[in-house]
Amino acid sequence: MERVYTPNQHAKFTSGSIVRHVFVMTATASVGLLATFAVDMLNLLYISHLGVPEFTAALGFASTLLFFALSISLGLTVPVTALIGHCLGSGDRQKAAETGGACMVYVGLVTVAFTLAIWPFIGSLLFMLGARGDTLDLAGGFLNIVMPSIPLAGLGMCATGILRGVGDARLAMYVTLFSAVAAAILDPIFIFAFDLGLNGAAITTVLSRAVMLLIGWYGAHRVHRLVALPARRRLKAAAAPFFEIAVPAILAQFATPVGNAYLLAVLARSGDGAVVGMAVISRLVPFVFVGLFALSGAVGPIFAQNLSAQHHGRILETIRGSLVLSGIYVLVVWTLLAIFAHPIADLFEAEAMAREVILFFCWFVAGTYLFTAAIIVVSAAFNNLGRPRLSTLLNWARSTIGVFPFVSTGAAYYGANGALAGSAIGVALFGIIAIAWCHRVVNQMMGKGLV
């Protein structure tokens, strides 16, 4: 039987335990994301067991470029969640539905435009990252298959943002969960049974994104009725608030892949071994730190609904609760990574430089995700409290000033591990800055009666 909207779904985060809301939203979002990242890990594991190092390196380079597309989709999801949350917090469900429809239109237009703009330059961009020879050709072939699915992923994430905005954490989880299940089933079929190798992994990516969009559309439109065809007036009215949040959010999200791309380019100077090690880390991080990535989207509607309801104390409580929960989470994960560092390297058959990079990350660099967690919480607070430009500034400063000089200096003295250490030091510095800045901004807003 189809589930339908009931009145208590208007603004569920304006009452009850904040810590419980943060935990439940993050935990349910983590399940879906965990499944997705687990499939990514299996994907890399399958490719690494083909016994061709160039395949693994190519996937690492391709993933770095796809991270830019993912960042745009993530940035576009921020205003979706915030606007839906604000509409429901103020009790206007019809406006929320038309806003949801307008958001789908804008997300589709932006992701299509980005895909068409970047596609002709794939080869040049991969070359700039350090890809050469067969690795360059393999990465280009992978991206040529995956690029058309970028709008599918963007619209699927938009639907997930709508579901989070209404507080339906379970259905939002199912969107990513079923997408991951589809990928898990199809990956070995296309990679091994059809003997398509790296191209098989690319085809699976496209199909799983189509599943994400179908499930997301069903939840947002059929279950919650929060995707209505917007009248021209509503479409125009939604443009300003949407892009006012989206542009800074996209710029903020873009900062991370820029920093990662610079780090990868520096590591590439140490050879394909360092790139392979970084490819493993790039898939390992989202999997083991999935709670942090889930937290970013989970706390958004909590901030938005309480801001609209003018529950000022609950906003500060959300910030504090998020920092405490994320801190405990990182310490647990770091401990496990340090204990199982060698088995992780063995799992991916990492040798020489690749193994050295993976071990160094697990033993030392992973601990600095305490500060990454702080940056994530503060960015979410800024985005949903009407200060998205501050989030953009914070993330770009962290990914440029906090990356370029530290990575370059570390690499010059200690090679690949020095580059990783430099990146970690930069993150720690800006994590401390983020916490102090957030408390100052929120206190100023409360003093002026803005929250």
DSSP one-letter string for 378-427:
HHHHHHHTT-HHHHHHHHHHHHHTTTHHHHHHHHHHHHHHHHHHHHHHHH
Domain boundary assignment for the chain: 16-446
What value does the mean pLDDT of the chain take?
A: 86
- Hey, CA dihedral for 142, 145, 148, 153, is it positive or negative? negative
- pLDDT above 80: residue 123: yes
Instruction: Tell me the pLDDT tens digit for each residue of 142-163.
Output: 999 999 999 999 999 999 989 9
pLDDT at 204: 93
Which residue has better confidence, 328 or 3? 328
The rounded distance, in Å, linking the Cα atoms of 120 and 144 is 10
Q: Residue 314: pLDDT band by 50, 70, 90 thresholds? A: confident
Question: Could you please report the per-residue DSSP string of 39-94?
Answer: HHHHHHHHHHTTT-HHHHHHHHHHHHHHHHHHHHHHHHHHHHHHHHHHHHHTT-HH
Residue range 411-435: mean pLDDT, rounded: 94
For residue 15, what is the enclosing H or E element?
none
CA-CA distance, 55 to 58, in Å (whole number)?
5
Least confident of 4-8, 57-61, 273-277, 439-443: 4-8
Region for residue 16 given its phi and psi (left: phi exceeds 0; alpha: psi -120 to 50; beta: otherwise): left
State what percent of residues in the chain have pLDDT above 70: 93
Map tokens 């599918």 to a residue: 152
CA 300 to chain centroid:
14
Token match 């493993």: residue? 280
Please give the structure tokens belonging to residue 403. Answer: 């990356």
Pair of tokens at residue 419? 């580059």
Give the distance from CA 194 to its chain's centroid: 31
pLDDT of residue 3: 46
pLDDT at 4 over 50: no
pLDDT band at 257 (very low <50, low <70, confident <90, very high): confident
Q: Please state which of the ranges 74-78, 134-138, 409-413 shows the lowest mean pLDDT.
A: 74-78
Q: Of 94-98, 290-294, 361-365, where does the model show the most confidence?
A: 361-365
Determine the average pLDDT of the residues in 246-265. 85
Average pLDDT over residues 386-393: 84
- pLDDT in the model for residue 75: 84
Identify the pLDDT of residue 9: 47
Rg (CA), the chain: 21
Q: How confident is the model at residue 5 (pLDDT cuts 50, 70, 90)?
A: very low
- Distance CA(207)–CA(445), nearest Å, equals 45
pLDDT at 7 over 70: no
Q: Is the pLDDT of residue 400 over 90?
A: yes
Signed CA dihedral, 30, 209, 147, 152: sign only: negative
Averaged over 408-414, what is the pLDDT?
Answer: 93
On the question of pLDDT at 36 being above 70, the answer is no
- The answer to whether residue 384 scores a pLDDT higher than 80 is no
pLDDT digit string (tens) for 276-297?
899 889 888 888 998 888 887 7
pLDDT at 71: 81
Q: Above 70 in pLDDT, residue 303? A: yes
pLDDT in tens, 68-83: 888 888 889 888 988 8
State residue 10's pLDDT score: 53
One-letter amino acid of 416: A
| Residue scoring higher pLDDT (404 or 1) | 404
Q: With a threshold of 0.85, does the pTM exceed it?
A: no
How confident is the model at residue 1, as a pLDDT?
38
CB atoms within 10 A of CB 179: 27
User: Over 142-192, what HEC string results?
Assistant: HHHHHHHHHHHHHHHHHHHHHHHHHCCHHHHHHHHHHHHHHHHHHHHHHHH
Q: Would you state the pLDDT for residue 287?
A: 84
Cα dihedral: 203, 206, 207, 211 (round 10): 160
Q: Residue 304 and residue 421: Cα distance in Å, rounded? A: 36
Distance between CA atoms of 403 and 408, rounded to whole angstroms?
8
Identify the residue with better confidence: 427 or 168. Answer: 427
Q: What's the pLDDT band for 25 if we cut at 50, 70, 90?
A: confident
Non-local CB neighbours of 233 within 8 Å, separated by 6+ positions: none
Stretch 266-278: mean pLDDT: 87
Highest mean pLDDT among 15-19, 139-143, 388-392: 139-143
Cα–Cα dist 49/16, whole Å: 49
| Whether the Cβ atoms of residue 3 and residue 223 lie closer than 8 Å to each other | yes
Tens of pLDDT, residues 171-189: 888 888 898 889 889 999 9
